[in-house]
Amino acid sequence: MKDPRFSDLAKVLVSHSCRVQPGEKVLIEAFDIPHEFTVELIKHVNAAGGLPVVSTYQQPVQRALIAAASEGQMKFIADIERRRMEGVQCYMGLRGSNNIAEMSDLPSEAMSLYEKHVWNEVHSEVRVKKTKWVVLRWPSPSMSQAAGMSTEAFEDFYFKVCAGVDYARMKRESEPLRQLMAKTDRVHIKGPGTDLQFSIKGIGAEPCYGDRNIPDGECFSCPTLESCEGDIQFNCETMYRGTIFNNIYLRLNKGKIVEARADSDANTKKLNEILDSDAGARYIGEWSLGYNPMILKPMKDILFDEKIAGSFHFTPGKAYEHCGNGNKSQIHWDMVCIQRPEYGGGEIWFDGKLIRKDGLFVLKELEGLNPDRLGV
C-alpha cells in the first residue's frame, strides 16, 4: 500500500521546489529509495506537464565504481552525465543510504577523482548553475540510528519536517534577515572555543525556503576571501567522504585555515588531507544561519544539520557563484555549530550590534525566525 505521505512530499518537490512547467525535462536521480516514491514522483511530474527522465542507483555499486576509478574513466562518465544534465531544465536528487558510512574506507585519491570530475563538472558547474534543482535525503534505518530514533519515529519526523513546514511563511520571515545581511560589513561570532571575525561586505545574502533543499531553513552569505581571522570550534559531528568527524577546530589567518584538528589523530590527519585537496580548500566558501524550527539536534546528515534552529555553518571550499567570494575548490564542506544554551550558547554580532544570542534572534524584525514563531 502506498504511503499517503509520499504524495504530499512529491507535491512539494514538483510544485514548490522545482516549479515544473509543461514541456520541461526533469531528471530524477534516485539512490536507494523505495520505488513506490519514485513512481509517485513520476506521476506528479507528468501531471504538471513535465517530462521525467529517471536513473536509479545503489550505493554499494557506486562505491565499487569509485574504488576502481581511473582519471580517464571519471572524465568519460562526467562527459556523459554533463551532456544529460545540460539537456534538462529540472533536477531532483533523492538520496537514500542503507549505510551512511558506505564510502568511509575509499582511498582519498579515488574520492578526489570523483569529486573533481563528476561532482564538480556535472553538479557544481551545470546542475547548480543552470537547472531548477532540489536535493533531499530519504529516511532509512541507518539515518534513524544516526539520529538516535526508532525507524518509525524518525519517519514521522522526516515527513513532518520535509513536507509539513510552511515554506511560504519562512520566505516572508527571512526577508528582513536577507536585507540586514546584504548591508552588513563585519561579522563577529563568539562562543565556547570560538572568537572569529570576518567581512561579508558586498557579498549579499540568499534565504533558502524549500526551493533547493528539503528540508530547508537558512540564509547564507560568504566571507570575503581573505577576511577571516580567529578561531572556531564546532560542536556537531559532521560526515565527509563517509567518515564522521567530531570536535573540529579551525584557526584562520588572512582568510586561510592555518590549523585544523579533529577528535583523533587519525581524523586530524584525514581532515588535513581533505583541506589539502587543492588551493581553495583551506579558504571559506559559505557562511550561513540556520533556523528550521523542527530540527533541533544533529543527526550526521548535513541537509538536516545545517538547518538546525539556532545554528550556523561555516564552509571550507568552493563558493557559490551567487553570494560568493570567487573561491574555487573541489570540496564544499559545511561544518555546523549550534549556539542554543544546551550546546554552550554563543553570540553573533553584525557591525558591532548583537543580532542573535544563545540561538535566538534578538532584533524585533528578526524574531519571526525564532522557533516559537516560525514553528506555529
Residue-wise pLDDT tens digits, 309-351: 999 999 999 999 899 999 999 999 999 999 999 999 999 999 9
Mean pLDDT for 188-206 is: 98
For residue 140, what is its C-alpha cell? 532509512
Residue 2 confidence (pLDDT) above 80: no
Does 282 lie in the same domain as 157? no
Does 151 lie in the same domain as 30? yes
Q: How many domains does the chain have?
A: 2
Does 321 lie in the same domain as 180? yes
Does 104 lie in the same domain as 44? yes
pLDDT at position 20 is 98
Quote the domain boundaries for residue 72.
Answer: 4-163
Residue 69 confidence (pLDDT) above 90: no
Of 113, 142, 163, the position where a domain reaches its end is 163
pLDDT at position 376 is 63
Does 202 lie in the same domain as 88? no
Q: Which residues pair with 102 in a beta bridge?
A: none
DSSP annotation of 367 reads: G
Does 176 lie in the same domain as 142? no
Residue 75's CATH number: 3.40.1830.10
Q: Quickly state the pLDDT bin for 1 (edges 50, 70, 90).
A: low
Q: Quickly state the pLDDT bin for 97 (edges 50, 70, 90).
A: confident
Does 248 lie in the same domain as 103? no
pLDDT tens-place string over residues 268-312 = 999 999 999 999 999 999 999 999 999 999 988 898 999 999 999
Of 123, 146, 163, the position where a domain reaches its end is 163
Q: Is the dihedral of CA 91, 129, 112, 245 positive or negative?
A: negative
Q: What is the mean pLDDT of the chain?
A: 94
For 214, the 3-state DSSP assignment is strand
Does 181 lie in the same domain as 120? no
CA atoms of 119 and 336, how far apart (whole Å): 22
Residue type, 303: L
Does 60 lie in the same domain as 144? yes
Q: Which residues pair with 338 in a beta bridge?
A: 311
Of 40-44, 141-145, 331-335, the one with minimum mean pLDDT is: 141-145
CA atoms of 168 and 16, how far apart (whole Å): 9
pLDDT at position 135 is 94
Q: Quickly state the pLDDT bin for 105 (edges 50, 70, 90).
A: confident
Residue type, 20: V
The pTM score is 0.83
End-to-end CA distance of the chain: 32
